Amino acid sequence: MGSRTTRIIQLTFPYTQDLSEVKELAMFIPQWLLLKKMAMFFQANHVKKITLAIPPQWLITVTSDTFKENFALLLGHSEKQSDEYIQCLSFANKIRYNILPFLKKLQRNHDINIVAMPMSNVHFPFVDSEKSIDLQIGCALAVYENVLAYRPLGILLSDSGYSVKLDAHFSRLGLKFYIVQGKKMKITEQSGIKGYTAVKAGCDHLRMNRVYDRFFSFFSYQHTDTMVDPNHFEWIDDESNLMNPKNDWIYPLTHELEEKIGYLHKRPLDEQQKYALAEITGSFINLQSKDWALSMNNAHIAKSYKLKWMKNYHAIKQKMHELISKASTNPIGDKTSRSAVFNYLFHPAIPASASHKPTLRILMLSWEYPPRIVGGLATAVAGLAEALSHLNVEVHVITSMAIQSPAYEQVNGVHIHRIHVEDTNQDQNFLELMIQLNALMVDYIEKLLDSGISFDMVHLHDWLVYFGGDYLKHEHEIPVVVTIHGLNKRRGEIDPNYQNKKIDCIEKDLIVLADHLIVCSCSTQKELTSIAPQTNNKISVIPNGIGLPNNHSERLDQQLNKKNQVILFVGRLVPEKGVDLFIRAAPMILAHHPHAKFVVIGEGSKLDHYKQLSMNLGLMNQIDFLGFVSNQLRDEMYRQADVCVFPSLYEPFGIVVLEAMSFGAPVVVSNTGGLKEIVHSFKNGLIMKKHSIDELASKVVWVLDHPKEAQQLAHQAYQDLDKKYSWVKIAKQTIALYQSLL
């Protein structure tokens, strides 16, 4: 090894503290000021490069909304505090309490190199189970990947110690090097450690060779000009007394929990149980921190830390018992920023059990996915992805960021990866935004592929993700399936806002790109072949599906407790949905049923126009515009509705119609697109002529005049859903298609 060295700055994290208390956040002030000072030194060229070790839980904490709010409260009283508080307040206001873009800029400028750390400062020589190592290392890498969009190549073990068991894990998880705490371990030449059976598993054994304080007075030392690589290191000393009569009693109890957690991770679990296990595991990871043992050496605080440790231990043990017995589970302790770690515990960086090896691994690209729901696309993609997952297909969905959603989470078996697109230009149009999203998707996918994850198939949903699919097919030769949920060209014929020749060209390129096309209705198949006749031999019609609600009797209860008849519309507020017809028909319906109430759920570009139209017709007291609502409120409105009306001018499928049917609501739909394939007049609903206000009004009046007959139609519609539109059936058709292309 060479003689040159690189200094490493290691940030710390209080694994034993309750960060829901505002005063505990004071420890972050010197760290933020350190980062600010680093940027100043880089800008002035006093320091060229530095290696930064950031605890993953530090990243999770400082990027949470709870932290930002509480940190602002803490700094808000800076006039009563030291200069350090005032400086930090100025810095925090400048970056709007969002340290993440600041870190990313330093990283992007190659000023810093970030190395990983385990999830907590566990002492690995005292760790018994392989699962604990997987959770500590794999989960940490998932945090960096999702918070920073960066997967570190190396990991710092200065606080964690080295164990020969780590080598195989590091190699499998793609780490190129690790930095061991080496002063007392007698590192020898053989890329191993004297006294241990070293394993050379694709990771270089590294060491540091001098001692420095973690914060060393904001760079008041000689300049450094290198970043960590396999040749340049420094010592960080650790004089910890981790095992003695004051603290050795905790290790048998920790090993007991380790064994039980390993057992629970091997069991098949439903989604609620997975969340409970993730919460248990997150609490256990913090209980493994060596800070507990060190605190018990201090006579002044030993008693309180023993009590806190035992309280957490018993809480975890109780939750394990409830999970094993399948009893209901309540949260353990505080659910502040640290609870975000639970979202990462089932990340693909952590190997799945071999007994649950998936039959296929599918990558789906969709610009929207719940909880971000703009139209039916998000609902359809989520329904299919979850159904495939339940049939042992591993599904990864890459989508755009949703408010208050993590960058990664696993929901109902589906791995959801969210990409943040910075819309810095207010004049930026939607197409430019989608191109930017696709570019970021490609970068993210490359990181997934580099980490060792491979995909059997790419499934694209509409033209909005064409560029990402095009790259994957030509650069990685992965087969591409495309679902056309609706043709932009047809929408443009109704709404001038959709008229865009560039998008029409992208849509045509998407059709050519696809190894196979899926459409949701025969009408869309007909439209598609009229645009591109050569695609007729590579199109399959696979409809969207619906999950049936468990309790159908709730609808009867809702109906009995109602005062007014409810006429419901659900959908985007755009011209193609025919909302103006719904509003203009209201006076005719009210002439027969004056106490009827009209409810509109949804948002869109024409909301203000439709509100003004209602006002012009004197209907503001009869029509409620609820905007975008939660799934719970939407479902409640379906149960209350006497009739649901979908007067679309263009509708490739109409998943909202299936939703209404699933809650037993009679439906009136226009004779267009996929709607006329779902509904058969006077058999499972009513069909009106497209554009006809008179027919819409007369069909709604018939339903309200004949509630018994209308409920018979609704009952038949419910039966049809189970036969034709179950997600399990649709997922099986999709799997068969995937397999035919491999």
Say whether pLDDT at 146 is over 60: yes
Co-location of 286 and 368 in the same domain: no
Co-location of 133 and 273 in the same domain: no
Say whether pLDDT at 325 is over 80: no
Say whether pLDDT at 652 is over 70: yes
- List the CATH number of the domain containing 41: 3.20.110.10
Co-location of 589 and 650 in the same domain: yes
**Tens-place pLDDT, residues 327-344:** 544 554 444 333 444 555
Co-location of 509 and 561 in the same domain: no
The b-or-e profile of 318-337 (16+ CB within 10 A means b, else e) is ebbeebeeeeebeebbeebb
Q: Percent of the chain scored above 70 by pLDDT? A: 81
Q: Are 614 and 621 in contact (CB under 8 A)?
A: no
What pLDDT does residue 132 have? 82
Instruction: Note the helical H segments in 484-549.
Output: 488-494, 501-513, 522-531
CA distance 696 to 661: 18
Q: Are 142 and 79 in contact (CB under 8 A)?
A: no
Co-location of 474 and 557 in the same domain: no
Q: Which of 202, 219, 236 is the last residue of a domain?
A: 219
Co-location of 575 and 531 in the same domain: no
| Nearest Cα residue to 178 out of 143, 218, 136 | 136
In a domain, 740, yes or no: no
- pLDDT confidence of 218, banded at 50, 70, 90? very low
- List the CATH number of the domain containing 330: 1.20.1430
Say whether pLDDT at 680 is over 90: yes
Count how many domains the chain has. Answer: 4
Count how many Cα atoms sit within 13 Å of the Cα of residue 166 in the half-sphere of its side chain. 29
In a domain, 229, yes or no: no
In a domain, 349, yes or no: no
Co-location of 639 and 529 in the same domain: no
What pLDDT does residue 326 have? 66
What pLDDT does residue 550 have? 60
How large is the average pLDDT for residues 671-683?
A: 91
In a domain, 732, yes or no: no
In a domain, 699, yes or no: yes
User: Whole domain around residue 648: which residue ranges?
Assistant: 553-725
| Nearest Cα residue to 116 out of 136, 134, 133, 140 | 140
- pLDDT confidence of 679, banded at 50, 70, 90? very high
Helices 271-287/130-147 angle, 10° precision: 100
Q: Are 185 and 158 in contact (CB under 8 A)?
A: no
Co-location of 708 and 567 in the same domain: yes
In a domain, 241, yes or no: no
Least confident of 70-79, 128-137, 239-248, 657-666: 239-248
How large is the average pLDDT for residues 396-402?
A: 93
What pLDDT does residue 499 have? 61
Q: Distances from the Cα of 19 to the Cαs of 26, 64, 389, in angstroms? A: 10, 12, 36
- pLDDT confidence of 46, banded at 50, 70, 90? low
**Tens-place pLDDT, residues 178-215:** 776 533 222 222 333 333 222 233 333 333 323 333 33
Residue recorded with tokens 């793609």: 174
Task: State the average pLDDT for the chain.
Answer: 80
Least confident of 281-290, 322-331, 505-514: 322-331
Q: Which of 541, 575, 602 is the last residue of a domain?
A: 541
In a domain, 228, yes or no: no
Co-location of 153 and 35 in the same domain: yes
- List the CATH number of the domain containing 460: 3.40.50.2000
- pLDDT confidence of 398, banded at 50, 70, 90? very high
Co-location of 310 and 431 in the same domain: no
Quote the radius of gyration of the chain (alpha carbons, Å): 30
What pLDDT does residue 437 have? 92
**Tens-place pLDDT, residues 495-549:** 666 667 788 889 899 999 999 999 999 988 988 888 888 887 899 999 999 987 7
Co-location of 442 and 590 in the same domain: no
In a domain, 509, yes or no: yes
What pLDDT does residue 427 have? 46
Q: Which of 541, 572, 601 is the last residue of a domain?
A: 541
Co-location of 574 and 678 in the same domain: yes
